[in-house]
Amino acid sequence: MREDVFNRIVNVLQKMIDCGDVTEGTPAWEGTQTILQLARGVIDGGMICIRCCCNGCGRHIEHSS
């Protein structure tokens, strides 16, 4: 069920990007890319740290929960 929801999210976001509904380089485009990566990570079963993803570093930083 969860994977189905994330597949829908990925499909909608990818269509927005492909159709030019968000302009590359804008905050909306960057946010769309970040959310798309998060959703794909969940689908692929990868571990995602929301805190690290939101700070834009692209890598996991050791921190306490």
Q: pLDDT digit string (tens) for 55-65?
A: 444 554 554 44
User: Is 62 inside any structural domain?
Assistant: no
pLDDT at 65: 42
Range of the domain at 45: 2-54
Q: Is residue 19 part of a domain?
A: yes
Closest CA to 22 of 8, 5, 36: 36
pLDDT of residue 11: 86
Residue 46: its pLDDT value, please?
A: 61
Q: Which long-range contacts (CB under 8 A, 24 or more apart) does 40-44 make?
A: 40/6, 40/10, 42/2, 42/3, 42/6, 43/3, 43/6, 43/7, 43/10
Is 15 within the bounds of a domain?
Answer: yes
How many domains are contained in the chain? 1
In a domain? residue 32 = yes
pLDDT tens for 7-56 read: 888 888 888 888 888 888 899 888 888 888 888 877 777 655 555 555 44
60: in domain = no
Within-domain flag for 24? yes
Residue 64 placed within a domain:
no
- Look at the block and give the residue holding tokens 């994977």: 3
Q: How many CB atoms lie within 10 A of CB 39?
A: 21
- Crossing angle of the two packed helices 27-43 and 2-18, in degrees rounded to 10: 150
